[in-house]
Amino acid sequence: MGFKEAFDKKNFVVTVEVPPPKGTNVIPNLDIAKRLLGRVDGINVTDNQRGIMRMCPLAFSHLLKEMGHNPIMQICARDRNRLALQSDILGASALGIENICIMTGDHPKLGDHPDAKPVFDIDSIQLIKVVKELENGFSMAGKKIDGAPKFLVGGVVNPFFEPFELELIKLEKKIGAGAEFFQTQPFFERESLERFFEKVSNIDTKFLIGVSPLKSVKMISFLNEKVLARKIPENIAKRIEASDNQIEEGVRLSAEFIREIKGIINGSAGSPCRGIHIMPIGIESHLPHLLKEAGL
């Protein structure tokens, strides 16, 4: 079943992130992906996430496609100009990749090459429009191309951006540009999730709710200080800190939350929230166990 078909036929869609390796050794990452065959509807392949250098998502997405997965190739505007971006998009189509997720990308100063020169030739909204122009048979320069790609195009949304009204405006612009689904930043508790459900209840799109298993108290401190706009609740940090196996406890907490999310979605007929997107951040090898614990 293709990723687009999953949205049409399933009540609860599941995607996960498996990043490309930091080198040429793809075997460990592909071993993880192999254990996920038939258990997820799509695998996001990150594009130098957080400005940290990895293998290009185009190559790793192709390997996942050959394995039998539905890769969702992330494309961020940070590192390439409009020429290179269009080339990669056309190349992805030629290699059979049918799903892409567009984002602007974090600044390189936040990553492992802080002296790298950022490009940001165009932003995520413009890049979504570029994809649609290519699908209509024209380049960004208005030149006709020989053969047009076809994608399910996604984007990202930050439920915790303040004021959220500005994030909603950006979201509507992405939908207007052609985005068909969105993956959110991670949630960790029900109150924020239900508030988000209320704010987007009348938006005509599809949302996958972000979930990140927490592997340690150290990770929680890092996310609170460097990444997240809304801090992880203290009761979650205390529960992980008290555990003899912090990774196992983090997986258990995420599994409990996923079951809770599924219950909310199944009880919200007509909601644009259609499933989850799991971002394991360094504990990808635990994904099969997490899915089992969550009953997926």
Over residues 226-237, the pLDDT tens digits come to 777 678 888 888
Mean pLDDT, rounded, for 177-188: 95
Q: What does the pLDDT look like over 56-89, one tens digit per residue? A: 999 999 999 999 999 999 999 999 999 999 999 9
| Range with the largest mean pLDDT of 33-47, 224-238, 270-284 | 33-47
- Is residue 231 a part of any domain in this protein? no
| Percentage of residues of the chain with pLDDT beyond 90 | 77
The answer to whether residue 217 sits within a structural domain is: no
Using DSSP, state whether 200 is helix, strand or coil: helix
* Cα distance between residue 166 and residue 172, in whole Å: 10
Average pLDDT score over residue span 270-282: 91
Between the two ends of the chain, the Cα-to-Cα distance in Å is 16
pLDDT at 162: 87
Q: Does residue 243 belong to any structural domain of this protein?
A: no
User: What's the pTM value of the predicted model, to 2 decimals?
Assistant: 0.94
| pLDDT (tens digit per residue) in 84-142 | 999 999 999 999 999 999 999 888 888 889 999 989 999 999 999 999 999 999 999 99
- Overall number of domains in the chain: 1
Residue 130 lies in a domain: yes
- Residue 247 lies inside a defined structural domain of this protein: no
- Residue 229 φ/ψ, nearest 5 degrees: -80, -25
State the residue range of the domain holding 44. 3-211
What span, in angstroms and rounded, lies between the C-alpha atoms of 294 and 256? 7
- Is 233 inside any structural domain? no
- 74: helix, coil or strand? strand
Domain annotation covers residue 22 = yes
Residue 141 CB partners (closer than 8 Å, separation 6+): none
The CATH number assigned to the domain holding 171 equals: 3.20.20.220
What is the 3-state secondary structure of 152-188?
Answer: EEEEEECCCCCCHHHHHHHHHHHHHHCCCEEEEEEEC
Residue 190 is assigned to a structural domain of this protein: yes
